[in-house]
Amino acid sequence: MSDFRLIYTTWPDADAAEAAAKEAVSDGLAACANILPSAVSVFCWEGELQRDSETVMLLKTTAEAAPRLIAALGARHPYDTPALVTLEVDEARSAQPFLDWVGECVPKA
């Protein structure tokens, strides 16, 4: 199992995503967050087809910090059911210097 995780989430706008990203990085829960504004989401909500603009955010973290990061993002998220998905990083197929950097930026508990 990998020691690193990528967290995928969406936010209603870039300002909300950036505020959450700054808090996550400042608190040592993530090494970095990429904010990708202007996504179009088509989804089912309460049995109806919906379309809305969202901002995608990807956060780089460790396996150990991922549950705390998910909890922190969920606590500040404005959606009733936020997308908060943890993806395992394939270390063998990733750049080791990058993984080392993530590990340095996200302190162990």
Residue 107 within a domain:
no
pLDDT-based confidence at residue 109 (cuts at 50, 70, 90): confident
CATH of the domain at 92: 3.30.70.120
Residue 16 within a domain:
yes
Residue 109 within a domain:
no
- Tell me the pLDDT tens digit for each residue of 50-79: 999 999 999 999 999 999 999 999 999 999
Q: Which of 59, 14, 18 is nearest to 37 (CA)?
A: 14
pLDDT-based confidence at residue 33 (cuts at 50, 70, 90): very high
Q: Is the pLDDT of residue 7 over 90?
A: yes
Residue 63 within a domain:
yes
Residue 108 within a domain:
no
Residue 36 within a domain:
yes
Looking at the structure of the chain, the number of domains it has is 1
Residue 105 within a domain:
no
Residue 89 within a domain:
yes
Predicted model pTM: 0.95
Q: Is the pLDDT of residue 44 over 90?
A: yes
Which range of residues forms the domain containing residue 8?
4-100
